[in-house]
Amino acid sequence: MAKYRDSENFYNAASEFQDEPLITLPDPNSHALSIRATALVFADPASRDLLDYIQRIAPSEATVLIIGETGTGKELAARQVHALSNRKNGPFVAINCGAFSESLVESELFGHEKGAFTGALNARSGWFEAANGGTLFLDEIGDLPLAAQVKILRVLQEREVVRLGARQAIPIDVRLIAATNIDLSGAVQAGRFREDLYYRLNVAALNLLPLRERPGDILPLVRHFLERYGKRLELSHVTLSADAEQALLDYAWPGNIRELENIIHHALLVCRNGRVAAADLNLNANVGSPRNAPAPRASVSSPIKPLETVLAGLYEQPAAHLFDTLEETIIRTAYAYCENNQVQTARLLGISRNILRHRLKRYGFLLS
């Protein structure tokens, strides 16, 4: 059993944290390049409250909306709801809505009949049918186009799905769990998400706090990843220095659990004699402690002030279609800044990838 050191004393991680519930993906090693969290622990008081809430809502058939930043463990929370439900013996199907193009998303979700569109050479069931009798987890549901949102609402209301190109409905028995890292209520107000679907999804809401707001989970997760990657690297004895432990506790973890896992994996690759020191942790020096960092305040040196000055000048002599011009400029510069990476650009601007693609096509930066 791997051991870890705190200050001058060694202690056994498994014995100290054996009572902390830990959830992992079925095969976490197969998700090494994923941005998803591969482990979720309930050691912090806030996390224990969340687990208690999951245990209370899981046996019901209510739809669940999981809200949290990327890398906080939304899929793992959804799997825990499924595992504690009456559907635990049925399938659990996890789908990332942002991974589908707008033209294919309905076919993927609802299926299609042969000849429904160009290239549909055979009939194919969708993910709702694949999850029949179990749970369907739709991650990044805020990325879905409005047309697909309407059809999902109908599926939830009618308990049946109609494939593209079909006339006959197929009855289904699926519990839906949705997740998002954006403010869906704000998306509703902006007209990007249907209000009726939002309320239909938000029957039971799980708010997954970022790792910086549940510091009690940090060290148990660190020890889990130390043991897991230590075994993979055939390190029989792994220790964690006191300065490394403090650095891990002080870090703000903008990438949440996924970033922590990568940090520990890297540290074990570069550490000497199986001992992880603070120097082995590839932490971003620009990310300060969530407890010690002062609250951000507006100041005259804020980058927003020069922008406000430029905008004021534009308002004095407004050009035609000013809003479109400003939006195009924002999209163009953000797209260039992210080296034409759509996922990173959408994340930078806080919008869904489908919305970004629509804007890119509109302004001629992306061919149809």
Mean per-residue pLDDT, 337-358: 83
User: Which alpha helices (DSSP H) does the chain contain, by range?
Assistant: 13-16, 45-57, 74-83, 105-110, 127-130, 146-158, 184-189, 195-201, 218-232, 242-250, 256-270, 304-316, 322-337, 342-349, 353-362
CA distances from residue 132 to 62, 153, 280, 289 in whole angstroms, order as listed: 16, 17, 47, 45
Mean per-residue pLDDT, 305-334: 77
Lowest-confidence pick of 111-125, 164-178, 260-274: 111-125
3-class SS of residue 4:
strand
Lowest-confidence pick of 24-28, 158-162, 251-255: 24-28
Q: What is the DSSP letter of 211?
A: G
Question: Hey, how many other C-beta atoms are within 10 angstroms of the C-beta on 289?
Answer: 12
Q: What is the residue-averaged pLDDT of the chain?
A: 83
Global model pTM greater than 0.75 = no
307 pLDDT band, cuts 50/70/90, is confident
Question: What distance, in Å, lies between the first and last C-alpha atoms of the chain?
Answer: 56
Lowest-confidence pick of 41-50, 258-267, 356-365: 356-365
pLDDT beyond 90 at 76: yes
Lowest-confidence pick of 1-5, 104-108, 352-356: 1-5
Tell me the pLDDT tens digit for each residue of 161-210. 988 888 899 999 999 999 999 888 888 988 889 999 999 999 999 999 99
Alpha-carbon span 201 to 141, nearest angstrom: 10
Contact 280, 244 (CB under 8 A): yes
Residue 37 token pair: 């969290």
Contact 137, 93 (CB under 8 A): yes
Domains in the chain: ranges and CATH = 3-19+217-280 (1.10.8.60), 45-211 (3.40.50.300), 304-362 (1.10.10.60)
